[in-house]
Amino acid sequence: MTLQECYAALGGDYAGVASRLPTERMVQKFVLKFLNDGSYDLLVRSMAAEDYAEAFRAAHTIKGVCQNLDFTVLYQSSCQLSEALRNGFTPEAPALAEQVGADYRRTVEAIRAYQASNGL
C-alpha cells in the first residue's frame, strides 16, 4: 500500500498534505505518529465521565491534528463534535462522538494497513 492509497482509504487529501510537508518521508513520519496520539482515548474517557470540558479539548486536538495531516473525514466529524462541546454538553454530542469513533477507527485501520504492508 502506498501512502496515497492510505490517504484514499482513510478519507484524506494526500495532495493537500504533500503540498505543505516537504517530503513523503515527513508525511509518513507524522501519519505514523498519529497512532501514538492519546487524544481519542482521552475523548472516550472524558465522554464516559461526562467531563465535557476535557472532551472538548480532546476533540479540538483531534481536529487540529487532522487538519494539519489532511485527514479530511476525521477532521470533519471531530470539528462538528468540537463545536457541539465548545460550551459544554449538547444533545447531539453523543451521536457526534460515535461518528468520530467510527472515523477514527477507519483512519487507524488504514494507517496500520499501510504500516504492515511496508514493514514499518
Q: What is the CATH number of the domain that holds 54?
A: 1.20.120.160
Q: Give the mean model confidence (pLDDT) for residues 67-83.
A: 98
Q: With bands split at pLDDT 50, 70 and 90, how would you rate the model's confidence at 31?
A: very high
Report the distance separating Cα 32 and Cα 87, nearest Å: 32
Give residue 80's pLDDT: 98
Going by pLDDT thresholds of 50, 70 and 90, the confidence category of residue 100 is very high
**Total structural domains in the chain?**
1
Is 119 buried (19+), middle (13-18) or exposed (0-12) by CB count in 10 A? exposed
Domain that holds residue 101: 3-117
